[in-house]
Structure 1
Amino acid sequence: MGYISRPALVKLRDYKYSGTDKSITSRLILTPYWSWLVTLVPKTVAPNTITLTGLSLVFMNILTLLYYDPLYLAEKDGASGPPNWMYWVWGVSLFLYQSLDAIDGKQARRTGMAGPLGEMFDHGCDAINTSLEVVLASRALNLARSRWTVSSQLAAVANFYLTTWEEYHTGTLYLGVFNGPTEGILLIVGIYFITAIYGTTVWDKDVFETLGLTKIKILTDNLPHYRFNEAFMAFGAVGVAFNVVTSYTNVYKHEKAQGRSVLLPIIRLLPLVISCSLNVLWLSYPTYNDSQIIHSSIFVPFLFAWGLQFAHQVGLMILAHVTSQPFPIFDAMWLWTGLLAADLNAEWLFDKPPFFQTTPERRALAVYATLLISIVSYGRFVYLVINDITEFLGIACFTVRKRDKEGHWEDAKKVDAQKKDL
């Protein structure tokens, strides 16, 4: 132990998960399926193993993307086009990820392994998947190297951050009637399947023309003419706006009922704003619409690094939640990202040329160095947190075991039964 303070570790014993799911799809369709699916999993399988298996399927999707389109060009920029079966695999894998992500909590209760480590592990995998799906879905929508992909990244991380921020303040994970883990994932699964059937270029078609609505003047004269992929991004923006309102409403009501400041939670959104602003600033050379990072082979490594930094931020927030600690504000990665962003944009910020990123090769070196630092930083965080929590609570991360009162590893249910007898 050492990363988490002793007083914070003690608070782990008081933590109780609280969640509310208002999704009709989840309650009427998916929950019966999930309840059946978990019965197929042996009770010797640890919940975190199920979660990690689901994330591994997404990693496999990323590997297929990098194999068939390593430059992330998409057909619109000259990619030869991966086989259609790849999108079928992506859709099935994402659906399985959702299924495994949904049953890990049920498995935890079946095996007596429910606790704060499971929630942290689950949220950590979800945070990583958030950015990975941006890369995959943008490829399926034939967007790839475009500012629309950046917009999708912003929308995805904002949605996830807001949900976690809301849980920190209210103590409850709220999932609305239409939420990301349920309907959002099913929507992306549908995108993969449609792309598998019709190809990526189907998303470049005009919505009104394709649906035969051009003769309805009231629509064509008053609504923007979007392509399908652009319309999907606009829908995502509406979703973010709705999530902002509902999340803050829940936090406002809770903080007011507790007699606490309703403005302080807004200040705690600054980490999201600062992180996103620094990354967008870095991308804005020479201009945001003509970014030399977006329109290059280092765009995907850049998104991966950003995603890991985001996962680290969310991990710190969840850790603070389960240990009843102060909200984490500062992130050391801001210094690194800020320096590189300022360096590349030094010409219009300081009227001086860049100090380091003077060539495409040096820009690539900066991005890959950032990716490496992000991997090491987040990997260290995950290792230390898992080690501290498992040692303190006497549990295993990937096996269904706990330590008995004598310090011996035993089956989790056996240890729980002994505690009840006492």
Structure 2
Amino acid sequence: MLSEVNVYSNLDESESHLVKKWKNFLKSLFKDSIARRNFFFNNFMPDFEIRGRVIVNLMNDKTLFPNAEEFLILALVRRELKILKFLQEVAKFNVHAFRFDGGMSALHYLLERGPHRSEYDARGMKTKEMVDYLLEDSLENYQDDHGFTYFHGACMTGNVSAVLRFISQGVDIALDTYEYPPLHIAVQFKNTEIIKILLENGASPNHQESSVQSTPLFWLAIPRCLCDHDCYSCEEKKPVGEIVDMLVKYGANIEARNAYGDSPLQIAVSRFKVELTRSLLKHGANLNSLDVNKLFVVNFREEELKSYPITSNVMKVMQLLQSHGYELNMRTRLSMIKYLIKVKNESILVGVHPENTSIRLQLELFVADLFTMDYCKLNLPYVPCRTIAKHMCDEELIRLCEETDEEKLERTILPMPKRRRLC
């Protein structure tokens, strides 16, 4: 809590006069303590460099502000680093020991109530600055009621100096106080240097976290960062292949299974992570581990549909699999087409990424192959079937695909189309 300073104590005459004047002004202007606090925060606290002792005195006056801790909460919510420093260094508020209702520390709050949820920090830069300040201001590896420590926070934000400092103090590399281990967090945020440090100091690349027993490799498929786009625009800028190489070098099991029986390749493919899929295949990931029933089931969020070229990446991932010998049969292709139609429709509703509605070619190719099969009973060779499909409108192609029954298609008597490439 704030230092217990008696109102008007240790102030010179002019400061005491100013405290009385501001106190009377605030009480006369606002009867509601919340409105009074917000006004004080917005209009008085920015002058802390000039009126620091006066501001501390007023903050400690319980007739004005029943709960002075709310000033810290405002500083955190609004990402006000200068005011946070003032509270910690001048007002002697122990920011590190503070806990929100529910037991979350200030550091944990900044990272888990992320900047993409804050109108005050659209790009995450203010959050990073505040987190770095907290990490550098404390030598102690504080832990909150959730088990989240400053070491976890340093791994999340890529603060190398803090990570090295905590390791030199003897912090357990495999710290299990929090639900997610440090290496998993560093991998998810793609902090390459932190990953290297952790592995060099004995972190296991095969350690399974407690929620779904996934190893760090799995977490590359669900990336995060401190920006407002949940990493969708940043993802390709970060070194997925380098991280996979590093984990494998230190003994990561490329065929590990999580609690649902999925492999890293299954998760990468089902989320259409092109570079991760490419890297896993390069290291010999087994195509036989793929469950076709889980390939096209992920529901993407609105932010992903707007920012992420899902349609393009679906095709790139499927082509990668085919280039490594994966057989994409007609039923799987139909599942893919129906999934692409779903993505197209959802993208139009939320504001499209330009690539998420470009599925015309795939519709034509699938329908042309469908026409060559006994399913449609046309008994025509491929070239005229391709011509027919090319002259069909989008609505006709989509309707035909949506009305095609997957189980009936799988039971269709040969001939199956020889043409299996997607483009």
TM-score range, shorter chain: under 0.3
Which one scores higher on RCO, CA 8 angstroms, separation ≥ 6?
A: 1
TM-score by length of 1: 0.27
Which structure is larger by alpha-carbon Rg, 1 or 2?
2
